[in-house]
Structures are given as C-alpha cells and as structure tokens.
Structure 1
C-alpha cells in the first residue's frame, strides 16, 4: 500500500503521524511511505531520518494526498485539506466528528473512508488509540492549570502544593477515566488537595485503592458539582463519551458561584467540551476570561509536547496501520473488531451512530460494508 504522511497545518500543531521507526516498519513489509517535506521537524525528526528509514519525501501536501492510498494524520483535516481528499481514499486520524458538523459534511462529500483513532475500541470497551494522547493531555491539564493559577496569568495566586503553614490548591477533576486519572496523579504529586468526581462506583473504588491519600473520590452529580465549585481553585474537565458530544456538567450560570481567578481546563473540548462556556482555543491564544473565571480550552494540548506525543501515538497506531496496509481497510475491519468500531464515514454515509445522532444525519450500520 502507498501511505502518505502530510504535515499538520492546524495552528501550532507540531506532531506528526509517524516516527521514522514506524516508517521503517511499514517499508520493510513492502509498503511505500511518502512524507511531506519537514513534516516531522516539529517533533524532532528531520527529513533525513525518514529517508534513512526508507521513506520518500514529497515537497507539497497536495502531492502527498494525490499519491497516497492511505493518509495517516494526527488531527482532523482542516478546510484547506478538504478538496485534496479523494474518493475511496482511507484517512486514519483523530476526527472528533460529533463536535464539528462542517468537517462531517466535507468528509461525506469526499466519499472517502474515515477511520477515527478516537473510536477504535477494544472488546472490553477501551479506546487504545485515545489512551496515549489522553495520558499526555491529562498530565498537561494539571501542568497548565498550575501555571495559570499564578496571579500574573489571571489565576488566584495559589501554589499547587502550598508550603508549610498554608493550604494547598483545591483541584476538582470531572471524570475518572484516563485523562482524569493522569491529571490526578500529577496534581497529587504536586501535593494539591484533589477530588475526582465520577458516576461509576467500581471506578471510584479502584481509584481510592490506587491513589495517594491526598486524592479523594466523590459521586458526580449536579448537587455535588455546585457545592464544590464554590471553593475549587482548579477545575479539570475530563469527561468522554466515545464518538459523541460531551455533556455540559458545568453550565454558564455556575460561573457566578466560582471565586475570581478560578481556573478551568476543559480537556473534553475536542468533543464539544463538558464546560458550557468553553470554546476551542489555540496554543497561540490559549485562554479567555468570563465572569473573572479563566478558561484554558486548547483543542490539541499534546501538540505542545510533540516529541513525547508523536512517539506515544505511533506506539499505539502502528499495529493498526500495519493491518490496514497489509489487508486493506475492509478486510482489516472484517478481521479486527477494534478497527471496525473505528469506521465513522464510508463512501458518503455515516456508519457511526453517535456521529449521525449529533447532527440528525442518516445512519447506515457499518455491517453493510463488512458483511459478505
């Protein structure tokens, strides 16, 4: 198969979809890898590392799209890429369709095959291609939150762990999944007073067993949320419903109950956000303030640490990319339930129900393309 790796052109996105090591694994199995010139430079991988691994360099993004049977990316295609995508071309990347209707409609129009990292799902319900970036984003959420609690940046002027004779910051984490767990570990390590809210008792029992003493758990409901936001210093949104929009657990009216300088970090912003007042921001202009509450809602947080993120992502995606390259998308999805769950759009039809529901679009079961 011919695999194309375009340079990411989303604002301040320095990751790349494949490391030189990943390219070498594909090439030694007989596949051809084309990578756009300087696509890996932001992650610390110059062009010569790819050519030494057997990949070929192309100067423009249009040439990469034109020649490739499978496009591997990190972030969803943006508007400048829509017309480059061909009918029957396989796109393997993060899409987060349910949060952005124009992207969904553009991919339907292209009649391409869209296989979304974020909905590849194991038989146990895990999301193996979302996990590595969720781990990065969760740890960064605490890191960024601690930074923005500083007074010159708009926060309350609180040190996360305090010092002897002072109280530590109160960190409230909505969701005890991968993002929430990683955020809690970081906040705990900084000696903050941490509470994770979740709706699953088994998950909270597990977290209570593995977390240090300065991390507590509490049932996630409106009553508890409204009570806790009154004294929280840093609130991290870490809610995920696979392939669907995140619910608004913090609504606009709740901001009036927060103290000035409270910091909100919404990691769920890729899927619409779990904080109603959050809207996607960029690394270039990451924050805004509403009602004296600071919002950090960068939609590609792991893009700020591209070396770590690119290696972590390739570690997870490469086994699936090899299956797709060796078998083609249809046979690979027939043989592997996890890849079948990743299919969102095929030949102008939505085949993932949560995406269809988000925009009231016609839904076609994926089995139409996989059976027989």
Structure 2
C-alpha cells in the first residue's frame, strides 16, 4: 500500500491544544498554518475569533496568504469576500471574549464540568483558581454530579449540549471538511456550525489535500493518521462470495482456517487459524489432520519440520534437502530405489506414499 502522509507542520502550540482536547476540537487555538494542515488545499476561511481577517490556504497554484478587510468591512465566509459590516453576521460578535472562570469558587484540585464541551467528555481541573481543560477517555463522559468520568450508560449528555455550535465550525463555511488527526478512514464535516465525524466507505480513506474519500492506495493521509489493518478476505472465494467451512492454509500444509457463517451479509473477517500436531498435515477432503505422508502437499515440504530430507510431491525417487525450514537443494535415489522420509534414506521398497505419488487423473468418457 503506497499511502502518503500529508505533513502538518504542527508547532509547539499543538501540544497546548492537545492538552485541552483533540486537535480538531481546539482548531481555533492552532497556528493559522496548522489550521490549513487540517483543511483541503485552497480552502478559504474566516480567521477564528475575528470578524475581518481571512485566510487562504495554499493550493497547487497559489501560496498561503492572510489578509484583513478594509475599514468598515467584515469577511463573509459564505461568499469568501469582504462586505459591509452591517450586511455580514460575524459568528464571533456574540461570543464572550473572556469565559467565566468556573474555578473561581472551587477548591484546589477539584474537577468540574466544562460548559463548552459539546460531547460531555470535557472537564476542567481547578489548580490555584486556574482552569486546566481535559477530556475523558474515549467511550466515557464526565458526570457533573459525581465529578468523574463514567460510561455513557451512566450519564446521558443533554441534547442541548450536543447541539451547541462548534468553535471549529464558526470560522468555516457549511460543508467544509477537516482531516481526522488519528484515523485516515475518518474525517470531520461542518454542518450548520455543528462538527460531525464521518467515515469513508469500505476500502477508501480520506485524502486531506483533496478533501474527499479516495481509494486507500491513493490517499494522502494527514500526518499521524493511520489506516486500519487490511481486512482479512480469506473467507471470500474468487467470485467475491463468502465461503463457510474448513479450508487449508494456502501458505502452510499443517495449518487450516475455519470460516464461520456470514453476519449481516458480511463474510467472516476473523476466521480461526488452527495448526495440526507436529508431523501431520491438513487433509481438505477428509477435513482431518493426518500423517504428513498420507497428504499431498503442493507447498515446500521442508516448512514446519526438523527433518534433514523430505519426499518430493510427484516423484517418490526424489528428495529435498532442508535447511532453516526450506528446501535448499534436490537429490535423486539410484535407479530401482525410492526415498523413504521416515527412515531418511533410499530404499528398494516403494511405499507408495501419497505425499510423493503422482496424482492420477481420472479418464473422461468420449
């Protein structure tokens, strides 16, 4: 997989933002160039916490630029132009410049709810009357009464809080997408100033430069974002349909897989991988682990054995010399002699082991 990473260039301020929450949630605290690192190339937006400053992210044809509207004008993020201040609704005019200090009357070391958190994961640690913002671990939310992180079954985040406008989306136009800083198959999207987390379709990933989902092999991921482990497709047949049952491992004659029934029309992506006892191979016809001499193996018979010499598929007079678990050379018994893997030598007796016998084709009727 030749997936590229898009450099973000996050500076030291990012580490401050990370202490407050995720990079995307703390978008407005980042350096402007780092904001562009999360956005598609060529994105224009209102600089956070201003009404008349704008940012134009670099594209393939332009360079990064910042600007300020002329006196008396505000930047309209919808049209991407400066206009008369009276005709533009600035999303930051109604935002308090200095939020109330919730730690003013709290004891040192107290935990309190973060009133700006949209998902109820946020909380504040009071230290010397100062506020230190943080988030509960994934799958947990902050309970304002017990003042602790609990499972979502123990506390339901109020609907009014989850619908609060996102500080990230105030500066961006409706429909703007941002890269997910950790998962390349996910991204964020602003919808009516609410930040939503989205997922790409199967086998696709989010390209942070193009701002859309593309084939995984072609995705330019945000720096630090990772792709999931490739899906196990062993339980799919050549036509793409799920197969169920016991199947030989295509890389080892002594191992096999068990494919379970599909769930919700999805093939088994975690088949059980089993091994036969030492000295035995998996027989696909009898669905059994059998003596390796009684099973025809098309793979290297030196794999998984500590023997020095092994029989060769299709020729009972030939033998293979093993080293490091692989066949390194071939040999041949004298005329009238047959190699016996069990005795590790050539014998005049032909035991007709299935392991080395030529496969007999069944004649068809004319």
Structure 1 length-normalised TM: 0.21
Which structure is higher in RCO with an 8 Å CA cutoff and minimum separation 6?
1
TM-score by length of 2: 0.21
Q: Which has the larger radius of gyration?
A: 2
